[in-house]
Structure 1
Amino acid sequence: MKPGLEAIIGLEVHLQLRTRSKLFCACRNAYGAPPNTQTCPVCLGLPGALPVLNGEAVRMGIALGLAVGARIRERSTFYRKQYFYPDLPKGYQITQGPVALVEGGVLEIPGDPAVRPGSGPVRIGLERAHLEEDAGKSSHDQRPEATLVDLNRAGVPLLEVVGAPDLRSPQEASDFLKALHRLVVFLGICEGNLEEGGFRCDANVSLRRVGEATFGTRVEVKNLNSFRFVKQALAFEIERQATLLGAEGTVVQETRGWDSERGETRSQRSKEAAMDYRYFPEPDLPALDVTEAEIAAVRSALPELPEARSLRWRSAFGLGADEAATLLQDPAFAGYFEALAAASGHGKAAAHWMLGEVSRTLNERGSGIEAFPVTPAALAELVCLVETRQISFGTAKDQVYPALVAGEGSAATIVARKGLAQVSDRAAIERLVAQVLAANPGPVAQFRAGKTSLQGFLVGQILKAGGGRLDPKAVNEVLAEGLARE
């Protein structure tokens, strides 16, 4: 981007809520059913059908608001937003009007050092989060001569989270999206499946000169359904606008789509203004009134939030920020780690196993922790055997862990059956050290002459002579004593 310009980015994120039924009717809210099998007169917009608000969707909206420190409005209203697409059977979408259920709030993300040198974490504001119903789905690639419409998704409850224009780079936009995604998944209000459209966003981006207070002409990039596409689409759009402004051109307010195959945004239509949607109050729904008691009930049911859990782990187990963030990749993985740390009593070692061997196994199998065949208690036994120096980490990793995953018994049983117990007997180790030193006079002489890196070679020879069963810590202690003697 040309020096002297800065990007102004705001994201509008649509979350499909994890309710059992749709927002205004009793139709099932579930992905993957045969087309047009989860519909009724209400979500199809047939004459005389009246909507009834799903109370669970309201509670989920309140949960997000409380988690980000927002204001929960005690009264909010529904409006009709009118536009005409084949997958919008009513010809309008029911959404919340000028007053939303949730207003304000913040999310904290790492600041992008490329645009905020030395800033550290930054707080990104949320303007509001409001309830609305989803549209159906149009498919344009199944038949060359027709567009197919599936209305199963019509009426599915959405929470639209409107971020403030506080983001300054594609990296910050991606970080904001990841932070919000992690939060709503841990709250249990959204599955967060990007490929199925359960978590998707529109990005608004404009450029202005550094130091200016007014915004430039805003362009909206629609329906970005991956963190990678958000970064790529915004990077392209920023450069496109910068090139236009650098050539004394004009940025046109419009809606653009992201073409991932071409790696570019493409114009779709001129950007609508609010008046184009002809908003008016929804006559079939009363105002939404939320009481203090209802808000308090949601607050009391909130789980421990990801950031609080990260801070607790870092304090209790000595984890780094990146380690804690990876362990918080999803609620099930975090829950397994929590149970493993508690059962073993060794939180740091438990994290090492989760981020190492367990993650490697899951990646190889292409599965989540839910399908991992070893219970936290069973893995904790292996962790304890290593931490109490009954077996070496190498033996645990290379021999015991694979057998444990294969279902060959408990860690202690596998160690006993295969004779893998670690030798810590000092006299036995001293004999092997003496043998290795006698067999390697050259490296010993070089070590004593100052080439201390050869200690690692000698340790390896001793461990090899011990069949991998020696306690490495004891070996190092005895070897150091032997090398110190002339």
Structure 2
Amino acid sequence: MPGGLPVPNKKAIEWTLLLGLALRCEIPLRSKFDRKNYFYPDLPKGYQISQYDEPFCINGRVSLPGGDVRIHRVHLEEDAGKLLHKTLEGSKVSLIDFNRAGVPLVEIVTEADIHSGEQAREFLKKLHQIIRYLDISDADMEKGSMRLEPNISVRPAGETHLPAYKVEVKNINSFSFVKKAIEYETDRHIGYLEKGEKPPLETRGWNEAKGATFTQRRKEDAADYRYFPDPDIPPIVWEKVYIESLRKQLPELPDAKKERFVKAFGLSEYDASQITDSVERASYFESAIRAAKEGPFATPDITPKAIANWIINKKADETMEPAQLIQTIKTSTSVEEVSDAVVLKAIASVTTANPKAVSDFKAGKEQSKMFLFGNVLKLLKGKGDKKRIMELLQEKLK
């Protein structure tokens, strides 16, 4: 508002520091805000409050199966407005939505450790998961709560230095779109380089309908923005004890939770990854384990593995009470007992009706036994202990 002075959002700063700690960043004890000067319709005051050379968090990393991706910095800035390109009354116009302008926005910048669209997708999914675990944002990309902006350049095979150019693709709202945009840009850059030309430094957008990027504006560098310390916001100095108090607030993060589930519950790496995919699913899983051990539906013989399978295979709606899930598993896995006499009668009926399968088994064709076994189960309508049924069938076939 005209005449208003900026006031840093304490909670946004605290959440930025928590994110930095979760990404294993260093937290410098001194930070400041700067003015980033540029003219664009989505920023009518002509500058953005951001951080230039003293961000809140530096030198972190995210571990992936293919290796670490280093985090260069995590800084806080204000969001700009949203441009909407429309056709009104036959004329093409650009509208501006200022509802999100001035809202705190955290920006995470990686080092040049990502070498493919697929690796970028994996990194972003992991980052999204960590943010959701911290509960500092819903990171809903459809609503613009998390926006993805890859910077892309290509270097000839054998070279080790970074190319002297980069192209940024702005405001992508899907992991798969990021992958496609990187792959498209990589091919486009190679086309330039093979002709002995350097791709132009520019900012581009992604058009999913066309499966292609498009030019938005030329790429600025730091000198173009004429950064200087914001005179209305004093530098921020932390005490180590405060940073450590924030570190103690960190929840159990996805990788640590996955490792614990493997060790404590005997889950496979795959099952543990699926269960810890979201903090809500992981919490539901542990609540179900407690329900299996205690309470009115306690069933100690239902294993964590069985519970995980039900959740992973979506047999259980996570809106179902954990105790109800345990009761459902118990009911579905309980076996209605039948006497040996009933089983033997069913076996006799199946073997009489399938003499060729019996003779094939006796001739050494093991699969014939499974054919007979399946028909016995079908005749018994799933009742009876399968292990006992197989024992009686084998005795009959001797």
* TM-score for both structures, normalised by structure 1: 0.75
Looking at structure 2, the residues matched to 127 and 146 of structure 1 have their Cα atoms a distance apart, in angstroms, of 38
Change (3 A) 1:426 1:385: farther
**Is residue 358 from structure 1 mapped to residue 318 from structure 2 by the alignment?**
no
The counterpart of 1:383, out of the listed 314, 329, 336, is 329
**Is residue 63 from structure 1 mapped to residue 18 from structure 2 by the alignment?**
yes
Give the equivalent residue in structure 1 for 2:248: 300
Looking at structure 2, the residues matched to 142 and 287 of structure 1 have their Cα atoms a distance apart, in angstroms, of 45
Give the equivalent residue in structure 1 for 2:299: none
Give the equivalent residue in structure 1 for 2:305: 348
Task: Indicate conservation of the 8 Å contact 2:84/2:96, yes or no.
Answer: yes
The counterpart of 2:186, out of the listed 238, 241, 250, is 238
Give the equivalent residue in structure 1 for 2:83: 138
- Give the C-alpha shift of residue 252 in structure 1: 1.8
Give the equivalent residue in structure 1 for 2:377: 463
Task: Indicate conservation of the 8 Å contact 2:56/2:74, yes or no.
Answer: yes
Deviations along 1:294-351, whole A, 9 cap, x unmatched? 2222222211100111112222333333332222332222221222233235111111
- Give the C-alpha shift of residue 427 in structure 1: 4.4
**Is residue 73 from structure 1 mapped to residue 37 from structure 2 by the alignment?**
no
- Give the C-alpha shift of residue 87 in structure 1: 2.3
- Give the C-alpha shift of residue 142 in structure 1: 6.1
**Deviation larger for 455-464 or 190-199:** 455-464
**Is residue 324 from structure 1 mapped to residue 283 from structure 2 by the alignment?**
no
What amino acid does structure 2 have at the position aligned with 1:278?
Answer: R
Change (3 A) 1:238 1:358: same
SS at structure 1 position matched to 2:283: helix
**Is residue 286 from structure 1 mapped to residue 234 from structure 2 by the alignment?**
yes
SS at structure 1 position matched to 2:315: helix
What amino acid does structure 1 have at the position aligned with 2:107?
Answer: E
Change (3 A) 1:357 1:126: closer
The counterpart of 1:451, out of the listed 329, 351, 365, is 365
**Deviation larger for 158-167 or 258-267:** 258-267
SS at structure 1 position matched to 2:162: coil
Task: Indicate conservation of the 8 Å contact 1:110/1:172, yes or no.
Answer: no
Number of residue pairs matched by the alignment: 386
SS at structure 2 position matched to 1:208: coil
Change (3 A) 1:445 1:108: same
Give the equivalent residue in structure 1 for 2:59: 104
- Give the C-alpha shift of residue 425 in structure 1: 4.0
- Give the C-alpha shift of residue 153 in structure 1: 0.4
Looking at structure 2, the residues matched to 248 and 147 of structure 1 have their Cα atoms a distance apart, in angstroms, of 37
**Is residue 149 from structure 1 mapped to residue 106 from structure 2 by the alignment?**
no
Ranked by relative contact order (alpha carbons within 8 Å, sequence separation 6 or more), the top structure is 1
1:67-216 → structure 2 map (5 Å cutoff): 67-111=22-66, 122-141=67-86, 143=88, 144-216=91-163
What amino acid does structure 2 have at the position aligned with 1:350?
Answer: I
Task: Indicate conservation of the 8 Å contact 1:110/1:175, yes or no.
Answer: no
What amino acid does structure 2 have at the position aligned with 1:188?
Answer: D
Q: Which runs of 5+ in 2 are unaligned?
A: 293-301
RMSD of aligned alpha carbons: 1.9
What amino acid does structure 2 have at the position aligned with 1:390?
Answer: S
What amino acid does structure 2 have at the position aligned with 1:65?
Answer: G
Looking at structure 2, the residues matched to 63 and 142 of structure 1 have their Cα atoms a distance apart, in angstroms, of 43
Deviations along 1:7-53, whole A, 9 cap, x unmatched? xxxxxxxxxxxxxxxxxxxxxxxxxxxxxxxxxx3xxxx12x12221
Q: Which runs of 5+ in 1 are unaligned?
A: 1-40, 112-121, 363-368, 392-421
Deviations along 1:55-91, whole A, 9 cap, x unmatched? 1112211111211211011110000111222222322
- Give the C-alpha shift of residue 199 in structure 1: 1.0
What amino acid does structure 2 have at the position aligned with 1:378?
Answer: Q
Looking at structure 2, the residues matched to 92 and 480 of structure 1 have their Cα atoms a distance apart, in angstroms, of 83
Change (3 A) 1:451 1:150: same
SS at structure 2 position matched to 1:234: helix
Q: Percent identity?
A: 40
Task: Indicate conservation of the 8 Å contact 2:20/2:27, yes or no.
Answer: yes
Change (3 A) 1:445 1:353: same
Change (3 A) 1:127 1:92: same
Give the equivalent residue in structure 2 for 1:18: none
Task: Indicate conservation of the 8 Å contact 1:81/1:94, yes or no.
Answer: yes
Task: Indicate conservation of the 8 Å contact 2:86/2:92, yes or no.
Answer: no
Task: Indicate conservation of the 8 Å contact 2:254/2:277, yes or no.
Answer: no
What amino acid does structure 2 have at the position aligned with 1:351?
Answer: A
Give the equivalent residue in structure 1 for 2:5: 50
What amino acid does structure 2 have at the position aligned with 1:63?
Answer: L
SS at structure 1 position matched to 2:74: strand
Give the equivalent residue in structure 2 for 1:473: 387
What amino acid does structure 2 have at the position aligned with 1:126?
Answer: I
Give the equivalent residue in structure 2 for 1:429: 343
* TM-score for both structures, normalised by structure 2: 0.91
- Give the C-alpha shift of residue 149 in structure 1: 2.1
Looking at structure 2, the residues matched to 474 and 67 of structure 1 have their Cα atoms a distance apart, in angstroms, of 53
Give the equivalent residue in structure 2 for 1:399: none
Looking at structure 2, the residues matched to 315 and 263 of structure 1 have their Cα atoms a distance apart, in angstroms, of 44
